[in-house]
Every structure is written in C-alpha cells, then in structure tokens.
C-alpha cells in the first residue's frame, strides 16, 4: 500500500516483521502475548501483522523481540 493511500485511510504507521530475523513462534513468539492490542497473529510458525492501525506505539513488542530485532515500527508521518 502506498503512503498516500495509507494517509487517506488514516493509517500513520506500518508494523513490519522481518522474516530473515524472526526465528518463529516455536523458538520465540514473545511478541504475540506482549502486544496489548493483539496486532500480531500466528501464520503457521511465523508471526504476521493484522490491524496495525490499532498499534498504540507502546514498543512492548520491540522489547519482547530482543535480541532478534525482527519487528520494526515505521512512522509514516513527520513529527
């Protein structure tokens, strides 16, 4: 989805899970219970993102994903 389309829909962030860095749910999966608004979902043994517009930018997922750093929150706006 383009940034213009995201802005038109009121989406101001994008949450990304890096497949090469994510070790999977069986080996880690700590981001799933860490997120208070449940934007992470299981897709087989991989972690997926749904309804990222619900993200409250608490960064608990980033903390839970250490030391892998597989999750990135991309802000689509200028502060």
21-56 pLDDT, tens digit each = 999 999 999 999 999 999 999 999 999 999 998 999
Residue 40 parent element (H or E): strand 40-43
**Nearest by Cα to 23 from 59, 66, 52, 57:** 66
The residues that bridge with 46 in the sheet, in sequence order, are 43
Kindly report the pTM of this predicted structure.
0.81
Sorted by where each begins, the domain ranges of the chain are 3-75
Pick the CATH number of 3-75 from 3.40.50.300, 3.30.70.20, 3.20.20.540, 3.40.50.410: 3.30.70.20
Confidence (pLDDT) at 3: 56
27: tokens are: 């080996």
Residue range 51-79: mean pLDDT, rounded: 93
pLDDT band at 2 (very low <50, low <70, confident <90, very high): low
**Nearest by Cα to 69 from 39, 30, 12:** 30
Residue range 1-12: mean pLDDT, rounded: 61
């Amino acid at each position: 989805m383009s940034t213009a389309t995201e802005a038109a829909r009121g989406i101001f962030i994008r949450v990304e899970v890096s497949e090469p860095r994510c070790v999977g749910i069986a080996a880690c999966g700590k981001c799933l219970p860490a997120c208070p608004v449940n934007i992470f979902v299981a897709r087989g043994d991989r972690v997926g993102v749904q309804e990222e517009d619900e993200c409250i930018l608490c960064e608990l997922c980033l903390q839970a994903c250490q030391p892998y750093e597989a999750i990135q929150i991309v802000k689509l706006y200028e502060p």
